Structure 1
Amino acid sequence: MPALSVKTRWVLGLLAVTALLAKPAYDYHLARQARAAAQARYAADKAEFQRLCREVAGYKFYRKAENVEGILLLKVRRDGDWQDLMAPGAAFALEGTDESYISSFLYNRDPITTAGDNSYFVDGGQAASSISGFKYVEVVDERNGERVHYTPRWDEPWQYDKSYLKGYIKFWLDKSPPLDPPRYAVTFEDHVVPEERARGLASSTVKVIDTQTNEVMAEMLRYAWSPPGAFSRSATPWLSAYKCPGVGHGSSTATRQFVDRVLVPPGATAPPPPK
């Protein structure tokens, strides 16, 4: 093979140097394109979430019932994998689960104290200012379809267990055989729509039902949005997702706060409708 001329070697060297110098510029160009595409996607997904909040999500109240002593829970919230883009209950990822979900309907709640504030606190205490929750809750066991009766109980464990501070009041959830089925029921349906989940969107509908007439008394459709990029940065992106409608206080009891506006326990008053 004949030796390359000095001129040829010089040209080849120049081309090599030019390629080396051009690569960082090309990589930078690709990075700018990727950033621009990500920003455009973020803006489009955010705009879609805002549209859904304006036009689709929200509350619908048709009828209210007073002096409701107990309710039937057709479903109970369960814990989920909040890193999973397709997690069914993602729109209510902050809601209490299992016994906490059941207990939330039995807790007392504090009245609204700020003018114009449609939110209120829900707790397990018995403060003098608090308003009682439901007297009992019956839950359908999803494994066998049987009902279980739950009632609230407060006692003072400090009187027999010195590990508690004096005056401490503890909430207990007591279980017993079912009574006659409550007339009013609460249920929910989590929506897993692949096209929405690809955009970081999750939704769920909560309904209050009159079981005697099969009438839907009220419904709440909630959307949550966690930008897709969050799933690579956070261990639990659904826990920090944007939500509409949300609640001002007590995010773990959002369903109870909705139900209180439809089914009113004895001696309580329904909070005003959300703005």
Structure 2
Amino acid sequence: MDNELLNECYIEYKRLLFSLAYQLTGSICDAEDVIQDVFAQLSTYDLKHQTNMKGFLCKLVTNRCFDLIKSARKKRELYVGTWLPEPLIVEEDPLYEISIENDVSLALLLLFEKLNPTQRAIFILREVLEFDYKTIAEIVQKEECTCRKIFSRVKNSLPNIEEELSTPDNHEKVIKQFIGAFQQGNVNQIIDILQHDIVYYADGGGKTVAALRPIFGIERVGKLLESLMNKIWNEDIKVSLGNVNGRTGIIFQDAHGLKGVVGFNIKQDKIKEIYFVANPDKLKVH
């Protein structure tokens, strides 16, 4: 494949391919590596007569991601504490071109973890990226009717998945209330916007202090957030709103850079889940 055609493909399809790889793996680093590998591999092909370049590239990316998912699941057996997807933190700059085709929340990425690789690929290709079943069948190498059945079963097995695909209208408002109370040290105001069955997830990867297991319930999460507030003020950490996976989240920074990122799952005007990513290997702005 000549360099000119290769460059054209890269420019036209990079965002789509990155989106697919990120949603399949939950890792920005892995997604970037997949894209690099695929385009290095692509240089060995003669594709001048390829009639569906988009589908072909997605097939290469999907196959490479399947290999990574298998190895990643083995590594996670040794992971220290709770594993969370790598957050996509985007610069709040009107001139910045977001490098993902369709934003997906951390909550949705965690739901994807309940699926096997084929289920995950079919759902993402159909529901998120809006591919037709013929193309999906070619990508995952299944019959069209099989892809339809798998897609239907996924939607039935994850009844909340439709809700996670869209951002609640009140998401930003609730998070602004949360950060306002947090900055004021007002624990009672924070508790007012937490659901009683709230769950707090933290991912430190064994490299920084973080809860090793999910914390359940408004009382325990409230006490943890109060402790976190005191820690942040004592260490002079800046707390600000940020774009986390296309939704309003919270960014913690000190003089040396990012210290943590928080994503939220909002239900019925209150916070249902909190995702705190503190593993330094997963913290970078794009």
TM-score tier (shorter): under 0.3
What TM-score do you get using the length of structure 1 for normalisation?
A: 0.23
Q: Which has the larger radius of gyration?
A: 1
Structure with the larger helix share: 2
User: Does 1 or 2 have the higher relative contact order (CA < 8 Å, sep 6+)?
Assistant: 1
Greater strand fraction, Structure 1 or Structure 2: 1
